[in-house]
Amino acid sequence: MTEIEKLNCWIEESNNIVFFGGAGVSTESGIPDFRSTDGLYHQKYAYPPETILSHTFFRKMPEEFFRFYRDKMLYLNAEPNAAHLKLAEWEAKGKLKAIVTQNIDGLHQKAGSHNVLELHGSVLRNYCEKCGRSYAVEDILKMENVPKCSCGGTIKPDVVLYEEGLNQKTMEAAVEYIRNADVLIIGGTSLAVYPAAGLIDYYQGNKLVVVNKTSTPRDRMADLLVQGKIGEIFSQLS
Ligand code: NAD
């Protein structure tokens, strides 16, 4: 039996699948990840991306932050790929209970998924730090330099920056889904960013699947390892 056939069997038998994913899920939609060789971390900027995308940098150098952010973090024309679409299909069939994602691009929802736990927030939501008013991402793009609310406050993307904490309710919900999952599929993530990556430790089942292009620190724990591009792999699943 091939790995794909085995995965297909587990999916057919289960109605309690949980997916845990990262930036690699969206690379086939044209959004670069961070750590691949063609990812953002291997491109040259005046500051490393981890520095620019930190809370301290956002506070101290907001103009530089927004220049990078508008240029490198917003891909509003990106479309869901076969992986996003398959996950949405499984949810609609009642097989998949939740997607826990580190992504901030909104592509799972664009594909039709509803129960998406966004650990690191979303570029599609933005709010004024002073009065709390919400802004669409298109508003940010229309404004120049540091986007400002009509009240004078700075508009901040609802994205978790380095040094910032994760939303407690989202974390707790993610733990519950993962703890109770029958099949846990981890896909398109280097599992290098904590505390998000630590969530998979809550899984108690015996069908832990890792689908990734390169090796991950958890490959040895996987009950099934499928190496390759997730969109190509998911397009072969039923
Ligand atoms: P990462 O860049 O650290 O790792 C991506 C992983 O996905 C790598 O192991 C890579 O080999 C693999 N990969 C790349 N393309 C793949 C494909 N087509 N199929 C299968 N595997 C593939 O990303 P991460 O682990 O998600 O952590 C980085 C952080 O970056 C996250 O917190 C996330 O918020 C943020 N991020 C998000 C986006 C997005 O929303 N699309 C994009 C870049 C970074």
**pLDDT tens digits, one per residue of 127-155:** 999 999 999 999 999 999 999 999 999 99
What is the distance in A from the centroid of ligand 1 to the CA of 151? 36
Indicate the pairing of strand 121-128 with strand 134-136: antiparallel
> What does the angle CA 66 – CA 29 – CA 10 come to, to the nearest 5 degrees?
125
Q: Which residue has the tokens 């953002």?
A: 40
What is the distance in A from the centroid of ligand 1 to the CA of 22? 5
Which residues are known catalytic residues? 120
Q: What does the pLDDT read at residue 46? A: 83
Residues 42-81: tens digit of each pLDDT: 777 788 888 999 999 999 999 999 999 999 999 999 999 9
55, amino acid identity: H
Q: What does the pLDDT read at residue 179? A: 98
| Percent of the chain residues past pLDDT 70, beyond the cut | 99
Q: Whose CA is nearest to atom 14 of ligand 1?
A: 24
Is 149 in a helix, a strand, or coil?
coil
Residues 203-213: tens digit of each pLDDT: 999 999 999 99
Under 8 Å between Cβ of 158 and 132: no
Q: Is 213 in the pocket of ligand 1 (CB under 6 A)?
A: yes
| Percent of the chain residues past pLDDT 90, beyond the cut | 91
d(CA 28, CA 230) in angstroms, rounded, equals: 8
Q: What does the pLDDT read at residue 89? A: 98
CA nearest to 33, candidates 105, 94, 81: 105
d(CA 104, CA 22) in angstroms, rounded, equals: 9
Give the residue, out of 26, 27, 29, 34, with the most ligand 1 atoms within 8 A of its beta carbon, to mutate for a pocket test: 34
Q: What is the CATH number of domain 1-31+80-120+165-238?
A: 3.40.50.1220
pLDDT at 39 over 90: no
Q: What does the pLDDT read at residue 34? A: 86
Across 195-210, average pLDDT: 96
The residue that leads in pLDDT, 39 or 179, is: 179
DSSP state of 148: B
Q: Is 214 in the pocket of ligand 1 (CB under 6 A)?
A: yes
* Domain locations in the chain as residue ranges: 1-31+80-120+165-238
Residue 197 CA, closest ligand 1 atom number: 25
What is the distance in A from the centroid of ligand 1 to the CA of 113? 19
pTM for the model: 0.96
Under 8 Å between Cβ of 115 and 138: no
CA nearest to 163, candidates 54, 62, 66: 54
> What does the angle CA 19 – CA 20 – CA 21 come to, to the nearest 5 degrees?
115
Q: Residue 202: is it exposed, middle or buried by C-beta count within 10 angstroms (0-12/13-18/19+)?
A: middle
Q: What does the pLDDT read at residue 183? A: 98
